Amino acid sequence: MGKISLVVNGKKITADDGKTILDICLANGINIPALCSHPMIRPPENCGICAVEVEGLADLVKSCAKPAENGMSIRTESVRAVAARVEALEKMLETHPNDCLGCVKTGGNCKLQEVSYLYGVNPAERKDMKRGSDDSSPAMRRDMDKCIACGICVSVCGDVQRIGVYELADTGSDRYAATKDGLPLSEAGCIYCGQCVKLCPVGALSEKEEAHAVAQALRDPGKKVVFQMAPAIQNTAGEAFGLSSADVTKKLPTALRKLGGVVFTTDFTADVTIMEEGTEFIGRLKDGGVLPMFTSCCPGWVRFIEIYYPRLLSHLSSCKSPQQMMGALVKSYYAERENIAAKDIFHVSIMPCVAKKYEKQRAEMKGSVDAVITTRELAKLLHWFNIDLSTQEDSGFDPMMGEGTGAARIFAASGGVMEAALRTVVMKLTGGRIDTIDFTAVRDSKGVSEAELDLGGIKVKVAVVNGIGNARKLLDQAAAGHSPYHFVEFMACPGGCVGGGGAPVKGASNTRKQSIYQSDMQNPVRRSHENQEVMKLYADYLGVPCGQKSHHLLHTVYSPNDLTIQGGNE
């Protein structure tokens, strides 16, 4: 049998003559969905799901039946091919029973379910819909028909987070989790932390899916796709792919670059956050500003204070989150340096957090981040584009905004933002006389941790609130004017970002936290103000921390939410 040479998705392949396009692609690790094809039978060419685009041919071809020819150039995930698959799936599902729970093909054996999931196709009409669905939240979706009344969402929201959005509704003939008073989630006081999404055992609660928007941008030749990857992803993604955090950190940039994107790390803007927030805190401390100052990098926490404690908003740092700082810098600093129009950049955040989806849609943030995908969505995206993370070569992040310190890495754990800030604030307040790096007192995983520091005669008391369920007592103190603290870190999710609502369900926050601090110890640079790329950003572009340009790009104003929910001392 002779050999032929062809190109698939830009990759040159040598194969046996006489093989179909589908057979050759599958043999080379390139997945093409096919429902009617099986090695034991001749392809009946019924489903059309395996359609691909061949350069020079006007029509799509069915890869299961089309023999490959020498010199062919094939695209398996072109815009036309994907559109044809979606159309074919939608037609199938018009008459397909929606009884997956009791189907004999349950348990990951149903190809139709797998392909429909990958391409985001659902039946056009749910004739069995009784309870309805709720898409009001910008971050989460509720499908009440899938609820099994297990009560997990009620417990995690009420007992752990102490917000109490949900309750078990019992109509006599039906029982399921509903929002209190039947309000849409966007009006029920939900902060979009996603803990209920992470723990829901079925598909009743899910994050708003954005992987398809990312895939569409990757296929658009007019878009420059830029990725940023949060510190916690380097830990949580390892669990999703069965790799160590060290391997993921080295392999993910390679994988994302293969998709066609530029890859930056949110560690960079975590260091920028410390420069801005640390400077802001020193200014408040010296000039008699509002204290205690509250951190502002967690969007779930920010939404909580805007809804339940708007009276205390003056305590909130004006800094944007690291995600949004990167968004602003990608659409300005990076765009200007690379001579790319901001409108032609599609900026993707990979986050362990469901609330980040909400944050990027806030009016004052809109436009700097175009899509937010969770760890789970990242796994789907790589699978979709036939990228096996375990086989990727090691590489680093792209320069300009690709450097991160140990201080940035620990942002992912509760207490990490505070410790990272102290490493820089203490150095600057004491002129380097106190050279402490490890502030272990704020690493305690209890509900509220605190520490008191003597900074060259200045007594500073700090606190860390681990999980929004522990916030009210401290906020009530501040509202009454009795807070003993100067600086407080708040994280909505227990354990911090490593326990975020978009992280893998399995995996212990404590194990993730240990991995984070280990990577901090191994980093040759452990203070944010020693990040050389950050220093270049200020020297070449921003000027000074909390200066006019950085205020314009990296700071914002947080405002009371329109909701009139009673909570705290309002």
What CATH number is given to the structural domain containing 68?
3.10.20.740
Residues 380 and 514 in one domain: yes
Residue range 197-224: average pLDDT? 90
Query: Catalytic residue numbers?
Result: 277, 280, 297, 317, 356, 359, 364, 497
Q: Residue 469 is which amino acid?
A: G
Residues 227 and 162 in one domain: no
Q: Residue 66 is which amino acid?
A: K
CA distances from 404 to 239, 397, 519 (A): 22, 10, 11
Residues 317 and 465 in one domain: yes
Instruction: Tell me, yes or no, whether 57 lies in a domain.
Output: yes
Residues 179 and 66 in one domain: no
Say what the pLDDT of residue 189 is.
95
Of the three residues 157, 189, 208, the one that is the final residue of a domain is 208
Q: What is the CATH number of the domain that holds 485?
A: 3.40.950.10
Confidence band, pLDDT 50/70/90 cuts, at residue 307 = very high
HSE value, Cβ hemisphere, 13 Å, CA-based, for 69: 9
Instruction: Tell me, yes or no, whether 438 lies in a domain.
Output: yes
Decide if pLDDT at 104 tops 90. Answer: no
* Range of the structural domain that residue 71 is part of: 3-93
Decide if pLDDT at 513 tops 50. Answer: yes
Residues 204 and 223 in one domain: no
Residue range 509-529: average pLDDT? 81
Instruction: Tell me, yes or no, whether 568 lies in a domain.
Output: no
Residue 353 CB partners (closer than 8 Å, separation 6+): 194, 230, 299, 300, 374, 493, 497, 500, 501, 502
Residues 21 and 59 in one domain: yes
Helix (H) / strand (E) containing 518:
helix 509-522
Q: What are 74's strand-pairing partners? A: 8, 54
- φ/ψ (deg, to 5) at 80: -65, -45
Residues 481 and 398 in one domain: yes
Distance, CA of 528 to CA of 271 (rounded, Å) = 5
Say what the pLDDT of residue 517 is.
81
pTM: 0.85
Q: What angle do CA 216, 221, 225 make, to 5 degrees?
A: 65
Exposure class string for 311-328: b at 16+ Cβ within 10 A, else e: ebbebbbbbbbbbbbbbb
Q: What's the count of helices (H) and strands (E) in the chain, helices before strands?
A: 20, 18
Rg (the chain; Cα; Å): 25
The pLDDT tens digits of the residues spanning 371-415 come to 999 887 888 888 888 898 889 999 999 999 999 999 988 888 888
Q: To the nearest 10°, report the CA torsion of 278, 282, 285, 287.
A: -130
Residues 266 and 279 in one domain: yes
Instruction: Tell me, yes or no, whether 105 lies in a domain.
Output: no
Confidence band, pLDDT 50/70/90 cuts, at residue 46 = confident
Instruction: Tell me, yes or no, whether 564 lies in a domain.
Output: no
From 201-210, 257-266, 304-313, the region with the lowest mean pLDDT = 201-210
Residues 521 and 438 in one domain: yes
Residue range 317-344: average pLDDT? 97
Of the three residues 177, 208, 239, the one that is the final residue of a domain is 208
Say what the pLDDT of residue 250 is.
87
The pLDDT tens digits of the residues spanning 266-298 come to 999 999 999 999 999 999 999 999 999 999 999
Residues 471 and 544 in one domain: yes
Q: Residue 373 is which amino acid?
A: I
Q: How many domains does the chain have?
A: 3
User: Checking DSSP bridges between strand 345-351 and strand 224-229, what pairing results, if any?
Assistant: parallel
Q: Give percent helix, percent strand, percent coil of the chain, each to the nearest 5.
A: 40, 15, 40
Say what the pLDDT of residue 96 is.
75
Positive or negative torsion for Cα 118, 266, 502, 346? negative
Say what the pLDDT of residue 401 is.
97
> What percent of the chain has a predicted confidence (pLDDT) above 90?
58
Q: What is the CATH number of the domain that holds 194?
A: 3.30.70.20
Decide if pLDDT at 15 tops 60. Answer: yes
Residues 221 and 289 in one domain: yes
Residues 139 and 87 in one domain: no
Most confident range (mean pLDDT) of 182-191, 378-387, 431-440, 556-565 is 182-191
Instruction: Tell me, yes or no, whether 117 lies in a domain.
Output: no
Confidence band, pLDDT 50/70/90 cuts, at residue 568 = very low
